[in-house]
Structure 1
């Protein structure tokens, strides 16, 4: 499998999609919990075998369930 290109830290704030590891870091939890939250939020973006997550949708979902 080919390695993906990594971009500088400055652009991480502006991303419209993150991978699972970045979703884990964003939520501060393990892989299973991050995937569960992402799926419940409806933030999953699947392109072929690659899975990305929409962080804006995840943030809105967390804000909604935390009320």
Structure 2
């Protein structure tokens, strides 16, 4: 039986988020969130879990916005 992952702090305070957290952070759907995360090269695989590096995503969004 798997243990539930504890959610600590707000999304802005985290270094890594799961895909649902990435969707919430970007206010987007799953497909768009994954596209942005992949373009930012922010995907981190830990075992079977996929996490996203929030710092890389923020830097990527800053770079593509004007």
Question: Aligned with 1:24: secondary structure?
Answer: helix
- In the alignment, which residue of structure 1 is the partner of 2:58? 59
Q: Return the TM-score normalized by structure 2.
A: 0.86
Root mean square deviation, CA, Å: 1.5
Question: Aligned with 2:15: secondary structure?
Answer: coil
Q: Return the TM-score normalized by structure 1.
A: 0.85
Question: In 2, distance between residues paired with 1:32 and 1:42?
Answer: 15
- In the alignment, which residue of structure 2 is the partner of 1:6? 6
**Higher fraction of helix:** 1
Unaligned runs of 5+ in 2: none
CA displacement, residues 19-57 of structure 1 (integer Å, 9 cap, x when unaligned): 000000000100010001000001000012110001111
Task: Give the superposition deviation at 1:4.
Answer: 2.5
Unaligned runs of 5+ in 1: none
